[in-house]
Chains A and B, each alone.
Chain A
Amino acid sequence: MGRLIRLLLLITSLAVGGFAVPHRAAAAPEDLAAGLALIAKDSFNDTLSGIDAIARSGVPHAAALVEALQDRRMLIDTANQKVFYREPAGTVREAQSNEVVASPPAGLTAVRLNNRVRGAASAAIGALSLMNPDPQRRIQAAQAVMKSRDPTALAVLDAALAAEKLPNVKAELQLAWAAVTFSKSDAPLDKRLEAVALLKDARSREAVSILRSLPADAAAPLRESTTSAISSIEQRLALWGYVQNVWYGVSLGSVLLIAAIGLAITFGVMGVINMAHGEMVMLGAYTTFVVQEFCRTSAPWLFDYSLVAAIPLAFLVAGGVGVAIERGVIRHLYGRPLETLLATWGISLILQQAVRTAFGPTNREVGTPQFMSGAMEIGGLVITWNRLYIVIFAGLIFVGLLLALRYTSLGLHMRAVTQNRRMASSMGIRTGRVDALTFGLGSGIAGLAGVALSQIDNVSPNLGQSYIIDSFLVVVFGGVGNLWGTLIGALSIGMANKLLEPYAGAVLGKILLLVAIIVFIQKRPRGLFALKGRAVEA
């Protein structure tokens, strides 16, 4: 009871003046001292009780303390059993008095955490910051309370709801209230039914999870309304599930497109069976790694932009290697397309081993910039940012490539050379140079693919190998020599794969897809968009 009163007092104090004007009278430093003593023991069970005590103490810096604990910034001086915490900025404060310590004692160790402690900490922070002046923090707090469903938070929630003015925050608070009330077995039935209605309107996965947790011995009317709420939400989620699958298909399709589009140039347009294509992708990914590593050591503030910086560099590195390969090897093999397979296979082995020697055989870490982490929700659809950016990136590359082929002089020359090499040559086009640049372009785009793939896959010497077969399938399925074919091919393979997966499983789905492609090629031996005319028999 004392805990409740103190919390209420705290709330009033916060409501009046926020953190800036602490009302010392409401706080209970002796609870804080007891809590800190428990935390100093650094065992999980004691830490849990410690968090409880800190939250109960109602001191103004309680939230800051628990946050520090959660982020491993709570430090113990084991020798003297004293607890300190470090603010994100770096200043160390004494936990009890909240005073800045100019020279913290040596040998401070961070309080150990496990998931249970972490969960309790975020619940406590939630309960403590429901009245935070920052609306964003209030929303987070409401969500934390919804997760913890801690019945003691109910009083604070009621107060917070009464004081809340912003509608979006209020909605979150209501949900949290519903979650807590619903789970509280001794709450009045009408309140619990009201909670069910609120949760039903939330229509989210999380709401289902809460509703499902109802024990089997609950009152009959509550059980019934819960069941109907669950099925209503499930129905809606199932509908969204189809949309979600389509999105997964688009996303996988864009990954395939990005991996295959460079090949559509080197293989599709030039006819080189480029087995080293995957290694160009890998080079792009490693370029990203190097750029990030540079940012990390020399310019940490640039980290979020490292991918942007990596894009042109990856294009240049992979493109440059591509030009070198074309001039050094492939140049000698025109007119013998199958032999390019052997040479480029050899090159791919060399590149793989070179990267393995230079960077080691293990995966390298390429971080995700802040703006690409996490996910957004539209209705019941969850879209992760990194996938969304890759879809956009793939689209940009595709459009850019189409425009380049259509409107630049290099594009004109490329088309001329691939359509009729001798004619183009006699018109004064330096076919050798065009060949080199075309191969460089294809490889450079593969390098760009590497930047994108570094965000979702391993950056290891084997990266290229895992995409090469799929890339060839996409290009062949779409029709060699046709960029639109590659686009449609990638999207339909991605879509088919993702629509099959929920029913057949990942392994069988992939097998079925391969068989379908084999059968499809029987029907259309030159792919989806076959070139017509004399080029066919060339």
Chain B
Amino acid sequence: MLKRRNVLAGLAATALAGGALLAGTPLAQAQDTVKIGVLHSLSGTMAISETTLKDTILFLIEEQNKKGGVLGKKLEAVVVDPASNWPLFAEKARELITQHKVAATFGCWTSVSRKSVLPVFKELNNILFYPVQYEGEESERNVFYTGAAPNQQAIPAVDYLMSKDGGEVKRWVLAGTDYVYPRTTNKILEAYLLAKGVAKEDIMINYTPFGHSDWQTIVSEIVKFGSGGKKTAVVSTINGDANVPFYKELGNKGVKATDIPVVAFSVGEEELAGLDTKDLVGHLAAWNYFQSVKNPANEEFIKKWQAFNKNPKRVTNDPMEAHVIGFAMWVKAVEKAGSFDVDKVIDALPGIEAPNLTGGTSKMLPNHHITKPVLIGEIRADGQFDVVWQTKDLVPGDAWTDFLDGSKDLEADWVGKKCGNFNMKTGKCG
């Protein structure tokens, strides 16, 4: 209610501003700062995940400015709210680039939001750092993918479950929300499992709508499928909001991780913070980072992050780490290029290395994906993960999977071939 007067005033101002807008008001530009766009939803359905990422970038910028900024200039964040509305993402991206003249943008969570802003970034030639695990099948000159590609999350997770430590799983439920990421991931996994000799009848695929809240039928179907006399596991690409009721149902039905383990690709510390995890102990998640990873870099990051938020309980998660890496890489690339110029930074980025928070050093590859370790964690009673397995080396992100007909011949190389979808068979770009 406190906004009443403002709104009325705003309405009046609207009419006036309309004219000004038509003239395309050039915004005053401060000389000694460089702007960074933050394109994460702060309202609507995705706010639940994306708000943290906005805070992460604000935190990173503050830290960088404490160190004196980049190339002697202070960084300044421009925060916009695309409100979980996909066309609005494109509109806000355009606003960030043309009106605020940002040097780079960190943003997006869902694939559709990335797809929505892609044409804008291409047209206006700017840089987007995309921090979330996704289905792959894309490599663009203007986008740097710091989240996991399917080969950096899904396939190692399945490998782990097939191993002795993972329980030698023979029967698979691929459960996901009905959208592109689970569909593609499950297609890839299905092809992979069949190639590994799993019989077709030992794979069950199930899709549910967004925000599905009544899991009774599906959980009992999973239990039924699990009574096939072979060790069964669930690979879950269930998205955000639907996870809480799913896990609650699992817990209440008494589906223990020692009977039917569930490995999830979208459940991290942030999601578990909204859940009572005592019945979920032992269920798994595959990520490239866990808050519980023990090493000095991570501990320092957590300490500073919690101090920045003035909340000693604030958790960290994998997409945040992706932003940390992406931001560090951008800073290094700018320093290497000696300029904020978009083309120079894009050319400088491949090959840049930055320490990740799990103790290794991630590298930006010519296909604009990065190298990451893959970690498997088991849920603990306190809402954190125990790392039970991890890859020995960092896994390079593969933009085009080898397990789908359409993309096995494609290769992305922005350094040598200057092409995101080079067809190795025809020897042509696209």
Contacts and interface: CB of A to CB of B under 8 A. Distances in A.
Interface of A: 44, 72, 112-116, 118-119, 122, 147, 205-206, 208-214, 244-245, 248, 251-252, 255, 353, 356, 360-368, 373-375, 382, 384-387, 455-462, 465-466, 497-498, 501-502, 505-507, 510
Contact of A373 (B206, B270, B279): B279
Contacts of B381: 72
A270 B270 CA distance: 41
Nearest to B226: A209
Interface string B70-86: 00000000000000000
A115 B257 contact: yes
14 contacts: A112-B388, A113-B378, A115-B282, A116-B165, A116-B167, A205-B223, A208-B227, A361-B51, A364-B273, A373-B279, A386-B248, A465-B45, A466-B211, A506-B208
A392 B324 CA distance: 49
Contacts of A461: 47-48
A506 B388 contact: no
> Which one of A211, A360, A465, A502 has the highest number of Cβ atoms from chain B below 10 Å of its Cβ?
A360
Contacts of B229: 208-214
A362 B257 contact: no
B95 interface: no
Interface string B252-275: 111001110100000000110111
Contacts of B166: 115-116
Contact of A248 (B178, B217, B275): B217
Interface residues of B, number: 61
Given A384-B252, A456-B248, A206 B227 contact: yes
Interface string B207-235: 11101111011101101101111100000
A44 B165 contact: yes
B63 interface: no
A212 B218 CA distance: 21
A365 B252 contact: no
Contact of B258 (A118, A244, A497): A118
Contacts, number: 161
Interface in B161-201: 164-167, 178
Contact of A122 (B42, B258, B386): B258
A89 to B, nearest CB: 18
Contacts of B221: 502
B391 interface: no
Contacts of A251: 216
Contact of A114 (B165, B226, B228): B165
Nearest to A251: B216
B228 A212 contact: yes
B244 A375 contact: no
A320 B381 CA distance: 37
Contacts of B402: none
A363 B165 contact: no
Given A205-B227, A210-B229, A212-B229, A255 B214 contact: yes
B351 interface: no
Interface of B: 42-43, 45, 47-48, 51-52, 164-167, 178, 206-209, 211-214, 216-218, 220-221, 223-224, 226-230, 241, 244-245, 248-249, 251-254, 257-259, 261, 270-271, 273-276, 279, 282, 284, 378, 380-381, 383, 386, 388-389
A27 B252 CA distance: 39
A507 B282 contact: no
Given A365-B276, A382-B220, A507 B213 contact: no
Contacts of B380: 72
Contacts of B261: 115
Shortest beta-carbon contacts, A-B, top 10: A363-B274, A212-B229, A213-B229, A209-B227, A384-B252, A114-B388, A361-B47, A119-B258, A367-B276, A248-B216
A458 B227 contact: no
Given A212-B227, A362-B273, A506 B207 contact: yes
A389 B284 CA distance: 29
A386 B252 contact: yes
Given A113-B378, A362-B270, A363-B275, A118 B216 contact: no
A384 B252 CA distance: 6
> Which one of A211, A213, A362, A505 has the highest number of Cβ atoms from chain B below 10 Å of its Cβ?
A362
B207 A507 contact: yes
B257 A387 contact: no
Contact of A375 (B45, B207, B254): B254
A366 B277 CA distance: 11
A353 B81 CA distance: 13
A112 B251 contact: no
A363 B178 contact: no
A101 B69 CA distance: 54
Nearest to B386: A112
Contact of B220 (A244, A363, A507): A244
A461 B49 CA distance: 12
A361 to B, nearest CB: 4
A525 B195 CA distance: 55
Contact of A363 (B226, B249, B273): B273
B386 A374 contact: no
B112 to A, nearest CB: 17
Contacts of B284: 115
B386 A113 contact: yes
A460 B167 contact: no
Nearest to B51: A361
Contact of B216 (A360, A387, A457, A459): A387
A364 B274 contact: yes
Nearest to B270: A362
Contacts of B47: 356, 361, 461
Given A208-B229, A362-B274, A466-B211, 13 more contacts: A114-B282, A114-B378, A208-B227, A214-B229, A245-B217, A248-B217, A252-B216, A255-B214, A362-B51, A457-B244, A458-B274, A460-B241, A466-B241
Contacts of B253: 375, 382, 384
A375 B212 CA distance: 21
A439 to B, nearest CB: 18
